[in-house]
Amino acid sequence: MAKTGGLGDVAGALPKALKKLNIDARVFMPFYGLVDKSKYKVKKVASAAVFIREKSEAFGIWQTELPNSSVKVYLIKHRLFNGKEIYVSGRIMKGKKYTRAKNDVERFSFFTQSALEACKALDFQPDVVHAQDWHTALAADMIKTRNLSDNFFIKTKVLYTIHNLANQGISDPQIIRYAKISPDFPVIKADAENGDINFMVQGILMSDLVNTVSPRYAVEILYHYQGAGLDNILRKRKKDLYGILNGIDTDFFNPKNDKYIKYQYGREDVFKKKNNKVALQKELGLTQDENINLVGFVSRLVWQKGSELITEDMIENLNCQFVFLGTGQKEYEDYLKRLAKKYPKKISANIFFDAALAQKIYAASDIFLVPSRFEPCGLTQMIAMRYGSVPVVRATGGLDDTVDGSVGFKFKKYSSAVLEKILAKALDVYYYDQEHWLKLQKNGMKKDFSWDKSARDYLRLYQKLVARKY
């Protein structure tokens, strides 16, 4: 409905899997201008208001369902979200006075407050509010500081899920007044002392339980090298910190009926991938050769994701083609564009967001590369395995949890030389041991990455929360 990365996938798929377990999970999200109203049936079901800067701000509550399900989605309609962008901070509106909230921390704080207010308007008293990432991290603050004067959420517990510690939501302490949270709570007071409020710190310290999106990442973040400055805070919650691997939407990501790909296939006829490869080579202007190994890479182009490990030497030395799809920081985008310009028949750099092309890359590639510096969970390696593309990943976070020698290749040291070595090893298997290659592909395709297992793990956490008596 509206996504820029993994968080969007999670918000769409987990509630559906929970529904199968008879949980009345409902999703609250901003009614972004980019939500396609012709695609989703939306209707207004209520209105409500919150107080912001001593003024009543009205908002609409619209309702729809997650596609192919009866999971209710409530859309908070307010002019803050009317634009086509999910994020607005850092953008300069040329020649226009910027009339919206001046930044994303205010927008998402407004959203969190409104979503809680919407629960009241809808008379929906949740047992658990499941807050995601920095965006809605203030939910626990809002619920707990309001409990003092407002009994609606008196029994509600908060589970806080960290998707990525790299984005923490740092705000001016003014947010305390804006979000109507109590400045007297010790955790809020302490956080404000150094001149800012860190949303993620609030989520971690104020929620009843905390989890992150893979078991490995849950351990890594307790240490300085992966804690993004919050390892000391996280260690305080060590006994309440869990790791639950994300799943993928296996109905959507299914090479047997994926409408974006030309030649559909399953485990038994995985050889048909070759046809998709040639089709993609043709579409992107690469040398058409069904035998050459095609390496796929679909990712945000940011520091985390390791695209700069791919070097010209590597391209010269290895017998393979590369297809990149991603957007992000200009320096990484330009780097890949430069490589593609220099090696037009071997490299294709697609610097835009295109869900259809992503599917084609999963289906066409032989190897799928995820060389991240850190990776809380990572969805692309799981999607790739489902499409019979063999993952070559850095052994970190969820990549380490999901890839082993039975399905792919991993490397530890963050270095181009080590990456080149592991790619060379993978290519050796691809060209000279086809039986082993096929085994890797089939093992990957057999893996169960559905949300059902993760949903059962989440249910256990919800039950733990509901059983808690303070």
Nearer to ligand ADP, 225 or 352 (CB): 352
Nearer to ligand ADP, 362 or 462 (CB): 362
Nearer to ligand ADP, 57 or 85 (CB): 85
Nearer to ligand ADP, 50 or 325 (CB): 325
Nearer to ligand ADP, 178 or 411 (CB): 411
CA distance 148 to 151: 8
CA distance 114 to 315: 51
CA-based nearest residue to 357, from 324, 309, 334: 324
Q: How far is the CB of 356 from ligand ADP (least distance, A)?
A: 8
Residue nearest to ligand ADP (CB): 6
Q: How far is the CB of 64 from ligand ADP (least distance, A)?
A: 22
- Burial code (b: 16+ CB inside 10 Å, e: under 16) for 87-107 equals ebeeeeeeeeeeeebebbbbb
Q: Which residues 6+ apart lie within 8 Å of 104 measured at CB?
A: 87, 88, 89, 169
Nearer to ligand ADP, 36 or 54 (CB): 36
Q: How far is the CB of 86 from ligand ADP (least distance, A)?
A: 13
CA-based nearest residue to 298, from 290, 287, 309, 307: 307
Q: How far is the CB of 145 from ligand ADP (least distance, A)?
A: 31
For residue 452, the Cα-to-chain-centroid distance in whole angstroms is 18
Q: How far is the CB of 355 from ligand ADP (least distance, A)?
A: 5
Residue owning tokens 């939910």: 139
Q: How far is the CB of 32 from ligand ADP (least distance, A)?
A: 17
Dihedral sign for Cα 97, 100, 106, 107, please.
Answer: negative
Angle at which helix 104-121 crosses helix 139-146, to 10 degrees, equals 50
Q: Which residues 6+ apart lie within 8 Å of 46 measured at CB?
A: 60, 61, 118, 121, 122
| 157: three-class secondary structure by DSSP | strand
Nearer to ligand ADP, 133 or 366 (CB): 133
CB 157 within 8 A of CB 128: yes
Q: How far is the CB of 116 from ligand ADP (least distance, A)?
A: 26
**Residue spans of beta strands (DSSP E) within 78-224:** 128-132, 157-162, 170-171, 197-198, 209-212
| 36: three-class secondary structure by DSSP | coil
Nearer to ligand ADP, 147 or 254 (CB): 254
Q: How far is the CB of 365 from ligand ADP (least distance, A)?
A: 12
Residues of this chain that bind ligand ADP (CB under 6 A): 5-6, 9, 298-300, 325-327, 353-355, 358, 377-380
